[in-house]
Homo-oligomer: A and B are copies of this chain.
Amino acid sequence: MTLRIVEIFGPTIQGEGVLIGEPTVFVRAGGCDYRCSWCDSLHAVDSRYRHDWLPMTPEAVMAEVERLSGGLPLTVSISGGNPAIQDFGPLIALGRTKGYRFACETQGSIAQPWFADLDTLVLSPKPPSSGENPDWDRFAQCLEAAGPARAVMKIVVFDDADYAWARDAHARHPELPLYLQPGNPEVDPDQPVDLDVATARLRWLIETVTGDRWYTPRVLPQLHVLVWGNQRGV
């Protein structure tokens, strides 16, 4: 059994959401059932890049994670693409025997039994600006599959319509800790990110949330974009 892997990199920090600031190695899975209009990881999504994806056994993935981490356990962040179209169960089982912890981010369109073996499951349903239309029944199945894993919801907000949608999403799942982050319209890895623009978008989202007296979500940027721009492998 092999996994389709786009890249394994780190250690760096998790730049987003509930684990923001935490040292981690990323394992990026290839392939996705969504085509978000503003996808910042098309190289892990679009099948025209599939020849760059490496078939790797769980043992080979774990060996690379251990090489990068110097053999010292840390949190492994499984991202994509949508990692839930593959079976990461054997990798997680192997890593856990060595003391590694696992977090995974997925949009919540496909439930997997291995979600229950994660430490943290980040469910990131996509708002209207993505052009996708989440299926809330499937989302609930993902949540159920998570079982004992900590589950949280993260929503990217580009505009007022996304913001209104995020409020509805929270109303559907008020039990999930909620993380909002402003969308990043500049996703070209070859173009610099304008920090004034990026921080202005964060300011807008903070002011929108607090102006509405909505005190539930945490509002966070993509730290890695502020620090490294859209550069890959960091």
Contact = CB atoms under 8 A, between A and B. Distances in A.
Interface string A197-234: 00100110010011001111111110100111000000
A39 interface: no
Given A179-B21, A199-B226, A221-B223, A13 B215 contact: no
Interface in A12-27: 12-13, 20-23
A11 interface: yes
A195 B13 CA distance: 19
Interface string A17-48: 00011110000000000000000000000000
Interface stretch (A52-60, A66-74, A160-168, A183-191): A66-74
Contact of A215 (B73, B179, B206, B219): B73
Nearest to A194: B195
B179 A209 contact: no
A196 interface: yes
Given A12-B206, A226-B199, A20 B218 contact: yes
B215 A72 contact: yes
B20 A20 contact: yes
B195 A196 contact: yes
Contacts of A23: 209-210, 214-217, 219
Contact of A195 (B74, B195, B220): B195
A195 B215 CA distance: 27
A228 B203 contact: yes
A134 interface: no
B195 A22 contact: no
A230 B72 CA distance: 38
Contacts of A223: 202, 220-221
Given A21-B179, A70-B213, A203 B227 contact: yes
Nearest to A12: B210
A10 interface: yes
A213 B69 contact: yes
5 contacts: A11-B210, A12-B206, A20-B220, A72-B213, A75-B215
Interface of A: 10-13, 20-23, 69-70, 72-75, 179, 195-196, 199, 202-203, 206, 209-210, 213-221, 223, 226-228
